[in-house]
Amino acid sequence: MLSCFFAALLAATPGVLAQGEASTDTLLVRAERLIVRPGEERKDVAILVQRGRIVAVGKDLEAPEGAREIEGAVVCAGLFDPWTSIGVDPGTLGDRRTTPATRTIDGLDLWDDEHERDEALRGGVTAARVQAGASAAVGGVGAVIRPAFGPEDEAVLLPDACLGAAVGLGKADVFDRVAQVDKLVGLIERGKRYKESREKYEHALEEWQTATAESTKELEKDFKKAKKTRYKKKKEAEEKGKEFKEKKFKEDKKPRPPKYDVDSETLARVANGELPLVVQVHRAEEIRNLLEKTSSYGRLRLVIVGGTEAGHFASELAERDIPVVLWPAPLGSGRSDEWEERDLALAGELERAGVRVLIGSGGLRNPRDLRLFAALAVGHGLDREAALNAITLAPASVFDLGDRIGSVEQGKEADLLVLDGDPLDSTTRVQLVISGGRVWNE
């Protein structure tokens, strides 16, 4: 059962939001209190939005002709759920045959479960990381989407946000769980070697192209001389009644590229740090092995999801700048096994140790309660600014969207919440959601 505190927060949320409408290309949002980003606020300012982007933030902004004006007590960035399954087809979500190259966006259903998308928006969630093969050993390439689905090009914020993996889920035997870590690290090594073979080929190809160009240039330079020499030798052969044999130009053999492999291409991007590796792992033994066996991969961007017993490794996680995505829901919320012993104070413990903490909705299909989970973490010791950061700018930065969303700044996409109070207060209502510059009404 939900705690009384959690139930109170649920009761404070407004009714279902209607389907989004782009009522105008231009909005002027006036805020008594603007949370630019966690830890930075401004009073009595306006945000000018045009064609889905924030074009200005200031005190003396005037509404352009035809613009819609919106007023609110508090305005902040839209929320980002880094651990949910909203919008993913159930078959894709539960697929355990996924490979590194499996694309989550191929399993999106942009038109089903409209109620769940509306529920997410009514909770203020404007971005979500989703993952195919959520409990598979390797789940493929995860994506970041907007619950405010429209055309596919608007719904998908980032089609290749990470590579997803899971270690130890449902495995009772510790040796089986550790073996999964070994297999995962083996894949990282495969990607590293594939990348090295590609680089070796590209270097060899560049040298071959340079040498070929130089030989061609030399041949062109000596063409007239070579032509005269050839004519002379041909005439001599004819006079002697011998066969004239043409001297063939021998070019250096062109290097052969390594055999293309789509899975290895994805793994190479992971090994090179181009894609974060998001691993759902909970128990201390697997976390210890994962940290130990990935320590030599300097470019690897590891992200831990779940991390029930991650507190034992807080110092190392902070030192290696490995973010942890937590689900601080009340005990007895319908999850078992790896989640049975989770500590609601873990978020605060990790944050105080210097770990980047992200908060998600536990892989559930409805991330409506994301800000409520963050508020619950605050109630168990997480710093208030860190909690807001954990559901806005932190996940945006971890998944390479920090320059687009996560804070209210000029040039960023207009994902905004208009509220009647502090985002993490139990009585605060989300009055209006702006997603990609589109207004979602109560």
Query: Domain range spanning residue 336?
Result: 79-195+261-401
- DSSP count for the chain of H helices, then E strands: 13, 15
Tell whether 61 and 37 lie within a shared domain. yes
Mean pLDDT, the chain, rounded, equals: 86
Tell whether 376 and 281 lie within a shared domain. yes
Tell whether 52 and 164 lie within a shared domain. no
The confidence score (pLDDT) of residue 21 equals: 43
Beta-sheet strands, E only, within 179-307: 277-281, 302-306
> Which residue has tokens 């939900």?
2
Is the predicted pLDDT of residue 56 greater than 70, yes or no? yes
Q: Per-residue confidence at 379, pLDDT binned at 50, 70, 90? A: very high
Tell whether 93 and 25 lie within a shared domain. no
Q: Is residue 441 part of a domain?
A: yes
The confidence score (pLDDT) of residue 392 equals: 98
Is the predicted pLDDT of residue 381 greater than 90, yes or no? yes
Work out the number of other CB atoms within 10 angstroms of the CB of residue 171. Answer: 17
DSSP code string of 386-431: HHHHTTTHHHHHHTT-TTTSSS--TTSB--EEEESS-TT-TT--EE
Cβ distance 324 to 310 under 8 Å? yes
Q: Per-residue confidence at 22, pLDDT binned at 50, 70, 90? A: very low
Domain containing residue 341: CATH number: 3.20.20.140
Tell whether 318 and 188 lie within a shared domain. yes
> What Å distances lie between residue 358 and 350, 386, 420, CA to CA?
11, 9, 25
Q: Is residue 254 part of a domain?
A: no
Tell whether 58 and 91 lie within a shared domain. no
Tell whether 352 and 425 lie within a shared domain. no
Tell whether 83 and 38 lie within a shared domain. no
With a CB cutoff of 8 Å and minimum separation 6, the contacts of 340 are none
Is the predicted pLDDT of residue 17 greater than 50, yes or no? no
Q: Compare 48 and 249 and report the one with higher pLDDT.
A: 48
Q: Is residue 233 part of a domain?
A: no
Q: Is residue 366 part of a domain?
A: yes
Tell whether 71 and 91 lie within a shared domain. no
d(CA 307, CA 326): 7
Q: Is residue 200 part of a domain?
A: no
Cβ distance 415 to 121 under 8 Å? no
Q: Please state the domain count of the chain.
A: 2
Q: Is residue 246 part of a domain?
A: no
Tell whether 291 and 436 lie within a shared domain. no
Residue 306, by phi and psi: left (phi above 0), alpha (psi -120 to 50) or beta? left
The confidence score (pLDDT) of residue 225 equals: 57
Q: Is residue 273 part of a domain?
A: yes
Q: Per-residue confidence at 11, pLDDT binned at 50, 70, 90? A: very low
Is the predicted pLDDT of residue 34 greater than 60, yes or no? yes
d(CA 436, CA 320): 34
Paired tokens of 396: 């945006």
Q: Is residue 245 part of a domain?
A: no
Cβ distance 437 to 22 under 8 Å? yes
Boundary of a domain, candidates 370, 386, 401: 401
Cβ distance 184 to 279 under 8 Å? yes
Q: Percentage of the chain with pLDDT > 90?
A: 63
Summarize pLDDT for 163-176 with one digit per residue, the tens: 999 998 876 677 78
Domain containing residue 12: CATH number: 2.30.40.10
> What Å distances lie between residue 48 and 93, 121, 324, CA to CA?
38, 21, 34
Tell whether 276 and 169 lie within a shared domain. yes
Inter-axis angle of helices 174-221 and 223-239, nearest 10: 70
Q: What does pTM read for this prediction?
A: 0.85
If 0-12 CB within 10 Å is exposed, 13-18 middle and 19+ buried, where does residue 321 land? exposed
Tell whether 61 and 121 lie within a shared domain. no
**Burial state string for 108-127 with b = 16 or more CB within 10 A and e = fewer than 16:** bebeebeebbbbbbbbbbbb
